[in-house]
């Protein structure tokens, strides 16, 4: 049972435009959400997170939005750069929990 | 560089064999997590240790075991290997087992190929 779903396997955007990556979850106990970026032959790198008490968190070019009623979160990258091309994983956890539950990932390609 | 190291980078072995993967967490981190990533899938949580003690278990097979040593490094032992065990194995660390902010920092992974 996939509790965290990233329904788009890949996304292609033009440099300078906005990239929007989506993630849905089914477990209403999740209350902390994270995005990781992964380059080939490297481990996932923490990007940004959001607690369920917020609906938006911003860090530079990266913004994560959380819609609890829809059990949906999204990562916005503005403006997109070629170096952002990577696999992006959405992950979720229960507050004070231990493990992260990951989605299958979305491959982002930013074309210059 | 996350500060988490994993060895070896690559491992090729045969079915039925046993291997050990090693992880050193970031300096000061007490918690170590192991994840498995099979082809085109997300990371699946296997097991977590905190300061030498097992704290949480995920979808870890009985053929797999792990431990965390007094110097906080961890080893994941995989035995009676099958073709389906071929995957990337990631180790992650975090400063504490529980807490509101549970960022985990990942190592570069060990790619295991079972032939």
Q: What are the pLDDT digits (tens) for A45-69?
A: 999 999 999 999 999 999 999 999 9
- In a mutational test of the A interface, the residue from B46, B49, B103 whose CB has the highest number of chain A CBs within 10 Å is B103
- B106: pLDDT strictly greater than 70: yes
CA distances from B56 to A3, B4, B31 (A): 18, 20, 11
The pLDDT of residue A85: 97
Average pLDDT, chain B: 92
Shortest Cα–Cα distance, B91 to chain A (Å) = 9
Closest in A46, A97, A102 to B43, CB measured: A102
Shortest Cα–Cα distance, B71 to chain A (Å) = 21
Shortest Cα–Cα distance, B93 to chain A (Å) = 11
Q: With cut-offs at 50, 70 and 90, classify the pLDDT of residue A94.
A: confident
Among chain A residues, CA nearest to B5:
A43
Q: What is the pLDDT of residues B19-58, one digit of tens each?
A: 999 999 999 899 999 999 998 778 999 999 999 999 889 9
Is the Cβ–Cβ distance between A82 and A19 less than 8 Å? Answer: no
User: Residues 6 or more apart from B10 whose CB is under 8 A from it?
Assistant: B110, B111, B113
In terms of Cα–Cα distance, which of B11, B53, B58, B61 is closest to B32? Answer: B53
- In a mutational test of the A interface, the residue from B102, B106, B110 whose CB has the highest number of chain A CBs within 10 Å is B102
Q: With cut-offs at 50, 70 and 90, classify the pLDDT of residue B97.
A: low
């Amino acid at each position: 049972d996939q509790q965290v779903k990233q329904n788009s396997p890949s996304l292609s955007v033009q440099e300078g435009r906005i990239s929007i990556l989506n993630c849905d979850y089914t477990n209403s106990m999740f209350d902390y959400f994270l995005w990781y970026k992964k380059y080939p032959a490297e481990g996932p790198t923490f990007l940004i997170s959001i607690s369920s008490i917020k609906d938006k968190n911003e860090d530079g070019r990266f913004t994560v939005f959380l819609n609890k009623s829809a059990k949906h979160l999204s990562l916005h990258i503005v403006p997109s750069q070629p170096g952002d091309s990577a696999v992006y994983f959405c992950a979720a956890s229960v507050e004070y929990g231990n493990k992260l539950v990951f989605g299958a990932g979305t491959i982002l390609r930013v074309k210059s | 560089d996350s500060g988490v190291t994993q060895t070896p980078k690559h491992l090729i072995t045969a079915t039925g064999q046993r291997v050990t993967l090693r992880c050193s967490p970031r300096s000061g981190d007490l918690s170590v997590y192991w994840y498995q990533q099979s082809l085109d899938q997300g990371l699946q949580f296997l097991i977590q240790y905190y300061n030498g003690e097992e704290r949480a278990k995920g979808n870890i097979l009985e053929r797999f075991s792990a431990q965390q040593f007094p110097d906080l490094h961890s080893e994941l032992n995989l035995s009676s290997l099958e073709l389906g065990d071929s995957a990337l194995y990631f180790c992650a660390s975090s400063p504490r087992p529980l807490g509101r902010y549970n960022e985990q920092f990942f190592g570069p992974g060990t790619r295991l190929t079972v032939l």
